[in-house]
């Protein structure tokens, strides 16, 4: 696999839940090291797109290639190379933050030192031994970000990663998942200005259809994006 | 594979130790059922086939309780998603969950079988303890595998608490037949008879068939 | 796609069914042991055999579905199991009537085949509630296929266990199911079995065609109504709603 | 076991075969219901298509004629 293959390449991607079409005809390419921002109202298919890229949902139509591997056939080859921060933190509520991360570290065959390092980086070292159910949503979100970064993923999928985070915490995670981290990212955001500032490529969805596809985010104005929500 | 299985098993056992959701409930359920049998049968003590029947019906019903809970944390707290994105074989989840269920069953039996001996059983079971353990072990393996499969089927539905028992009970009928028939001669008043090898063979066959079957189909249950 | 050959198949079914019943009542001799009541055998046993084969076919289509992800296989499995359940009810009722007439009880536990059949029926009776409680059609098809495979493998295992349990404590009561039938009884039985199998195939194809027709109709309706309201959710159902 | 004479056995045999017949007839009745629903829905669709055609005609008639 050569390094200059795109991180994500979609052609006519479609996905339905029964008769309800959640995504259709999505075509785009995302080069490595760049960021795709996905905008759209609730139910527009953003989360579905993210789950397809995370190998958690099968595509129904078109072709999907992630990190040079075709999904769903070669899903096994990209597992462990993708990090996901979703709506749900994907943490066990009765385990502590550190235990959750150590569990995932073992699944990904990562050393335990990385856990402490990341918890310190997001300012959670002091609360690491409290069960997740005792943490506030913002704190759980920070732990979830650690979980997604544990195995140093090649592709980071972020579904409103800054939701529930106070400005201080947002500042703390910025070096890890922000533009300066240099990661390939797919970012879902409702904050149009901030999303655009982070983006290289923009995708706007309405009712599962791509109504705005721009290879250059600089050419997209905030007004175009806001129209998606009208 | 071994790394993932051990991580999953340790995670589940740690949660169980911390919350005590499954095993204490199963144990309480078993003991209440023994009391219920005492009144329903109007017997001070039971022996032979009746004792075997009471014991196995109780244990199998208690196992159904754990089957329904087995995958709840994975579904509700995102364990499936986290596991599915990790670079590990999906069979690891089947093996780990079956092992966890087996641990639960053994833990319950460690307390429930003595309780049964004290509360309801006529003849003393201590002389036949090794044979009894052999039957329990073989039956538990089968119940653990079937229970994992049924739990994974049930977790896909919206009515898990209804689907799991109605699926599990018919599937466990061969276990009930073989285990009760194998246990019966051990618990007779007149002195324990031999352990019928035929029924152990049926239990082993059951374990083998469902083990292979679960291995073959489990992946598909995780695949959205 | 499902309707091909339905007409000749229906004709063959009618001919075989009429022929089988005629043979039963006008050709086959009365059983030496049981007399006239043994005539139920020609109905009860084919019903049970065809129902079991239908269950196993459901498992086979389940395998095919998981391999290919072609919804048509899921529909085939669904209809096969659905029909087999109906036949199984008939088999249990006729078996019960036979037991009452021959032994004086509506149910006898010392007939292992009948008992196994009841257990299998109880298991497959979960198929519809299982499907009904899953909304996402793809997950429904997937889970139902896994169930059909597991249940299919359970059938022989269960028959083994129950037969072992009964045959060592009681002598077999009924030997007529074995191979020791006189020739004219055997012919009658085989024709009855073939007739029942054809009836199953006919109804299976018929129901598949009907299901497919209503699916096509729904699809057309959706296309025509696309402008006014984009999507009307399907009625919740245990049956597959889409190919 | 003694063979039942025809008089005793007759009703049982008849009952068994009637059960079979009844199930097949119930099946036919259910399929008839489904067919009726299919037909009704087809009628609705036909009406919908006709309405569309009419609407298209009216739109065509109402269009201002360009000089």
pLDDT (tens digit per residue) in A22-71 = 999 999 999 998 999 999 888 889 999 999 999 999 999 999 999 989 98
This complex has an ipTM of 0.90
Give the model's pLDDT for residue C231.
56
Q: Tell me if B98 sits within 8 A of B144, measured CB to CB.
A: yes
- Complete DSSP assignment for B186-219: GG-TT------HHHHHHHHHHHHHHHHHHHHHHH
Average pLDDT over chain A, rounded to whole? Answer: 89
Q: What mean pLDDT do residues A166-178 have? A: 87
Average pLDDT over chain C, rounded to whole? Answer: 86
- Residue A43's alpha-carbon distances to A160, A228, B142, in angstroms, are 15, 12, 44
Residue C163 forms part of a structural domain: yes
Q: Please report which confidence band the pLDDT of residue B150 belongs to, taking 50, 70 and 90 as the band edges.
A: very high
CB of A17 within 8 Å of a chain B CB? The answer is no
* Residue A162, pLDDT above cutoff 70: yes
Contact B156 C135 (CB under 8 A): no
Pairing relationship of beta strands A201-206 and A35-40 according to DSSP bridges: parallel
CB of C101 within 8 Å of a chain D CB? The answer is yes
Contact C222 A19 (CB under 8 A): yes
Question: Chains A/D: 3 or more C-beta pairs closer than 8 A?
Answer: no
Domain count, chain C: 1
Give the model's pLDDT for residue D63.
55
Report the alpha-carbon distance of residue C75 to residue C78 in Å, rounded: 5
Question: Which of B149, B158, B181 is facing C133, going by the closest CB pair?
Answer: B158
* Residue C176, pLDDT above cutoff 70: no
Angle, nearest 10°, between helix axes A113-121 and A167-177?
A: 130
Contact C137 A207 (CB under 8 A): no
Give the model's pLDDT for residue A197.
87
What are the backbone dihedrals phi and psi of residue A38, each rounded to the nearest 5 degrees, phi first? -110, 125
Q: How many residues are given for chain A?
A: 230
Instruction: Give me the residue label for tokens 């196994």.
Output: C116
CB of A147 within 8 Å of a chain B CB? The answer is yes
User: Distance from C134 to chain B by nearest Cα, in Å?
Assistant: 5
- Which is nearest to C238 in space by CA: C125, C140, C145? C140
Contact C136 A18 (CB under 8 A): yes
Best mutation site among A17, A18, A56, A57 for testing chain C: the one with the most C CBs within 10 Å?
Answer: A18
Residue C219 forms part of a structural domain: no
Q: Which residues, 6 or more positions from A103, have their beta carbon under 8 angstroms from its beta carbon?
A: A92, A95, B7, B10, B11
Using alpha carbons only, what angle is made at residue A147 by residues A142 and A150, rounded to the nearest 5 degrees? 120
Q: What mean pLDDT do residues C39-58 have? A: 93
The residue with greater pLDDT, B191 or B115, is: B115
Q: Which residues, 6 or more positions from C116, have their beta carbon under 8 angstroms from its beta carbon?
A: C158, C159, C162, C163
Residue C232 forms part of a structural domain: no
* Residue B85, pLDDT above cutoff 50: yes
Contact A18 C138 (CB under 8 A): yes
Contact C136 A20 (CB under 8 A): no
What are the backbone dihedrals phi and psi of residue B88, each rounded to the nearest 5 degrees, phi first? -130, 155
| Chain A nearest-CA residue for C231 | A20
Residues of C with Cβ-Cβ distance to B208 under 8 angstroms:
none
Q: Which residues, 6 or more positions from B150, have their beta carbon under 8 angstroms from its beta carbon?
A: B67, B164, B167, B168, B171
The residue with greater pLDDT, A99 or A180, is: A99
- Per-residue exposure over B90-125, b if at least 16 CB sit within 10 Å of its own CB, e if not: bbbbbbbbbbbbbbbbebbbeebbebbbeebbbbeb
Give the model's pLDDT for residue A111.
85
Q: Please report which confidence band the pLDDT of residue C4 belongs to, taking 50, 70 and 90 as the band edges.
A: confident
Give the model's pLDDT for residue C169.
47
* Residue D1, pLDDT above cutoff 60: no
Report the alpha-carbon distance of residue C45 to residue C26 in Å, rounded: 19
Q: What mean pLDDT do residues B178-187 have? A: 90
Average pLDDT over chain D, rounded to whole? Answer: 81
Give the model's pLDDT for residue A226.
85
User: Distance from D55 to chain C by nearest Cα, in Å?
Assistant: 14
Residue C234 forms part of a structural domain: no
What are the backbone dihedrals phi and psi of residue C97, each rounded to the nearest 5 degrees, phi first? -60, -40
Domain count, chain B: 1
Q: What mean pLDDT do residues D15-43 have? A: 91
| Chain C nearest-CA residue for A22 | C231
Residues of B with Cβ-Cβ distance to A98 under 8 angstroms:
none
Give the model's pLDDT for residue D46.
87
CB of C223 within 8 Å of a chain A CB? The answer is no
Contact D45 C98 (CB under 8 A): no
CB of C236 within 8 Å of a chain B CB? The answer is no
Burial class (CB in 10 A: 0-12, 13-18, 19+), C227: exposed
Using alpha carbons only, what angle is made at residue D23 by residues C203 and C36, rounded to the nearest 5 degrees? 110
Share of chain B above pLDDT 90, in %: 77
C neighbour chains, 3+ CB pairs within 8 Å: A, B, D
Question: Which of D9, D44, D48 is facing C35, going by the closest CB pair?
Answer: D9
Question: Chains C/D: 3 or more C-beta pairs closer than 8 A?
Answer: yes
What's the first-to-final CA gap in chain A, in angstroms? 42
Helices (H), chain A: 46-53, 75-78, 97-107, 113-121, 137-149, 167-177, 192-198, 222-227
**HEC-encoded secondary structure of C122-164:** HHHCCHHHHHHCCCCHHHHHHHHHHHHHHHHHHHHHHHHHHHH
Q: Please report which confidence band the pLDDT of residue D5 belongs to, taking 50, 70 and 90 as the band edges.
A: low
| Chain C nearest-CA residue for B182 | C165
Report the alpha-carbon distance of residue C229 to residue C219 in Å, rounded: 14
Instruction: Give the largest CA-CA distance in chain D.
Output: 102
Q: How many residues are given for chain D?
A: 67
H or E stretch at B137: helix B129-154
Residue C23 forms part of a structural domain: yes
Report the alpha-carbon distance of residue D50 to residue D56 in Å, rounded: 10
Question: Chains A/C: 3 or more C-beta pairs closer than 8 A?
Answer: yes
Contact C221 D45 (CB under 8 A): yes
Give the model's pLDDT for residue C206.
92
CB of B20 within 8 Å of a chain A CB? The answer is no
Contact B206 C149 (CB under 8 A): no
User: Distance from C36 to chain D by nearest Cα, in Å?
Assistant: 6
Contact D1 C86 (CB under 8 A): no
Q: How many residues are given for chain B?
A: 224
Q: Please report which confidence band the pLDDT of residue A99 belongs to, taking 50, 70 and 90 as the band edges.
A: very high
Contact C133 B221 (CB under 8 A): no
Best mutation site among B2, B85, B91, B222 for testing chain A: the one with the most A CBs within 10 Å?
Answer: B85
Burial class (CB in 10 A: 0-12, 13-18, 19+), A216: exposed
User: Distance from B82 to chain C by nearest Cα, in Å?
Assistant: 19
Give the model's pLDDT for residue C170.
44
Q: Please report which confidence band the pLDDT of residue B136 belongs to, taking 50, 70 and 90 as the band edges.
A: very high
Report the alpha-carbon distance of residue A177 to residue B193 in Å, rounded: 69
- Residue C135's alpha-carbon distances to A116, A198, A222, in angstroms, are 42, 38, 38
Contact A107 B223 (CB under 8 A): no
| Chain A nearest-CA residue for B13 | A95
What's the first-to-final CA gap in chain B, in angstroms? 22
Residues of C with Cβ-Cβ distance to D53 under 8 angstroms:
none
User: Distance from C219 to chain A by nearest Cα, in Å?
Assistant: 9
pLDDT (tens digit per residue) in C100-135 = 888 888 888 878 888 899 999 999 999 999 999 998
User: Distance from C67 to chain D by nearest Cα, in Å?
Assistant: 31
Contact C139 B206 (CB under 8 A): no
pLDDT (tens digit per residue) in C187-204 = 889 999 999 999 999 999
Q: What mean pLDDT do residues B52-73 have? A: 94
Contact A20 C233 (CB under 8 A): yes
Residue C228 forms part of a structural domain: no
Q: Please report which confidence band the pLDDT of residue C228 belongs to, taking 50, 70 and 90 as the band edges.
A: low
- Residue A79's alpha-carbon distances to A75, A83, A106, A108, A144, in angstroms, are 6, 9, 14, 9, 18
D neighbour chains, 3+ CB pairs within 8 Å: C
CB of B83 within 8 Å of a chain C CB? The answer is no
User: Distance from C241 to chain B by nearest Cα, in Å?
Assistant: 17
* Residue B205, pLDDT above cutoff 90: yes
User: What residues 3-22 of chain A have any CB closer than 8 A to a CB of chain C?
Assistant: 17-20
CB of B223 within 8 Å of a chain A CB? The answer is yes
Domain with C164 in it: 6-27+37-171+182-208
Domain with B42 in it: 2-222
Residues of C with Cβ-Cβ distance to B168 under 8 angstroms:
none
The residue with greater pLDDT, C123 or A220, is: C123
Q: What mean pLDDT do residues B178-185 have? A: 91
Report the alpha-carbon distance of residue D57 to residue D65 in Å, rounded: 15
* Residue B53, pLDDT above cutoff 90: yes
Q: Which letter does DSSP use for residue C29 in this model?
A: P
* Residue C47, pLDDT above cutoff 70: yes
User: Distance from B223 to chain C by nearest Cα, in Å?
Assistant: 9
Contact B4 A104 (CB under 8 A): no
A neighbour chains, 3+ CB pairs within 8 Å: B, C
Lay out the sheet containing A201-206: strands in order across.
Answer: A82-85, A155-159, A184-188, A35-40, A201-206, A209-214
Give the model's pLDDT for residue C172.
47
Give the model's pLDDT for residue A43.
86
Contact A99 B14 (CB under 8 A): yes
């Amino acid at each position: 696999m050569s390094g200059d293959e795109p991180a994500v390449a979609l052609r006519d991607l479609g996905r339905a839940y029964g008769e309800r079409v959640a995504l259709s005809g999505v075509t785009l390419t995302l080069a490595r090291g760049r960021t795709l921002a996905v905008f759209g109202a609730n139910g527009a298919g953003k989360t579905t797109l993210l789950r397809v890229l995370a190998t958690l949902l099968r595509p129904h139509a078109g072709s999907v290639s992630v990190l040079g591997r075709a999904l769903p056939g070669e899903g096994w080859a990209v597992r462990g190379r993708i990090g996901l921060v979703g709506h749900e933190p994907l943490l066990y509520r009765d385990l502590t933050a550190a235990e959750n991360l150590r569990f995932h570290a073992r699944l990904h065959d990562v050393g335990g030192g990385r856990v402490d390092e990341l918890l310190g980086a997001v300012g959670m070292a002091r609360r690491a031994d409290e069960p997740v159910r005792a943490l506030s949503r913002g704190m759980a979100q920070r732990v979830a970000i650690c979980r997604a970064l544990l195995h140093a993923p090649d592709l980071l999928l972020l579904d409103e990663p800054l939701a529930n985070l106070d400005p201080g915490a947002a500042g703390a995670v910025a070096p890890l998942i922000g533009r300066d981290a240099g990661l390939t990212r797919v970012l879902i955001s409702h904050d149009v200005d901030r999303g655009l500032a982070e983006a290289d490529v923009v995708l706007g969805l309405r009712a599962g259809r791509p109504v705005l596809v721009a290879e250059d985010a600089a050419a997209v104005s905030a007004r175009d994006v806001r129209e998606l929500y009208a | 594979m071994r790394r993932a299985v051990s991580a999953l098993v340790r995670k589940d056992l740690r949660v169980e130790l911390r919350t005590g959701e499954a095993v204490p409930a199963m144990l309480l359920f078993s003991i209440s059922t023994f009391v219920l049998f005492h009144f329903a049968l109007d017997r001070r003590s039971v022996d032979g086939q009746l004792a075997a029947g009471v014991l196995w019906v109780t244990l199998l019903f208690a196992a159904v309780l754990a089957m329904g809970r087995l995958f709840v944390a994975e579904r509700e707290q995102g364990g499936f998603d986290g596991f599915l994105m990790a670079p590990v074989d999906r069979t690891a989840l089947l093996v780990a969950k079956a092992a966890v269920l087996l641990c639960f069953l053994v833990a319950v039996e460690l307390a429930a079988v003595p309780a049964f001996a004290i509360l309801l059983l006529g003849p003393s079971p201590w002389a036949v303890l090794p044979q009894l353990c052999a039957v329990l072990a073989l039956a538990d393996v089968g119940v653990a595998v079937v229970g994992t499969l049924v739990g994974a089927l049930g977790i896909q539905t919206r009515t898990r608490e209804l689907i799991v028992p109605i699926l599990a009970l018919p599937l466990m009928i061969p276990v009930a037949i073989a285990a009760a028939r194998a246990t019966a001669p051990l618990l007779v008043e007149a002195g324990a008879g031999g352990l019928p090898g035929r029924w152990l063979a049926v239990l082993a066959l059951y374990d083998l068939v469902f083990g292979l079957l679960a291995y073959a189909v489990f992946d598909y249950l995780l695949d959205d | 796609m499902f309707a091909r050959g339905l007409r000749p198949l229906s004709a063959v079914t009618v001919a075989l069914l009429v022929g089988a019943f005629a043979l039963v009542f006008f050709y086959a001799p009365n059983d030496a042991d049981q007399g006239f009541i043994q005539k139920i055998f020609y109905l009860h046993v084919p019903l049970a055999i065809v129902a079991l084969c239908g269950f196993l076919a459901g498992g086979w289509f389940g395998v095919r579905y998981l391999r290919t992800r072609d919804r048509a296989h899921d529909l085939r499995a669904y209809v096969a199991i659905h029909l087999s359940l109906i036949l199984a009810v008939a088999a249990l009722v006729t078996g019960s009537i036979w037991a009452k007439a021959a032994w004086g009880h509506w149910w006898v536990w010392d007939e292992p085949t009948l008992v196994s059949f009841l257990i299998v029926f109880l298991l497959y009776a979960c198929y519809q509630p299982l499907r009904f409680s899953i909304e996402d059609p793809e997950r429904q098809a997937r889970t139902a296929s896994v169930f059909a495979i597991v249940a299919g493998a359970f059938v022989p295992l269960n028959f083994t266990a129950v037969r072992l349990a009964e045959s060592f404590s009681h002598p077999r009561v009924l030997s007529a199911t074995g191979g020791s039938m006189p020739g004219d009884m055997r012919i009658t039985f085989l024709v009855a079995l073939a007739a029942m199998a054809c009836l199953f195939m006919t109804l299976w194809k018929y129901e598949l065609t009907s299901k497919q027709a209503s699916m096509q109709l729904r699809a057309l309706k959706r296309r025509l109504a696309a402008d006014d309201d984009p999507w009307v959710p399907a009625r919740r159902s245990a049956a597959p709603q889409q190919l | 076991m003694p063979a039942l004479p025809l008089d005793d056995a007759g009703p049982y045999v008849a009952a068994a075969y009637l059960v079979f017949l009844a199930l097949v007839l119930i099946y036919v009745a259910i399929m008839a219901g489904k067919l009726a629903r299919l037909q009704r829905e087809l009628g609705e669709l036909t009406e919908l298509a006709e309405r569309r055609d009419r609407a298209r005609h009216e739109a065509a008639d109402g269009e201002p004629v360009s000089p």
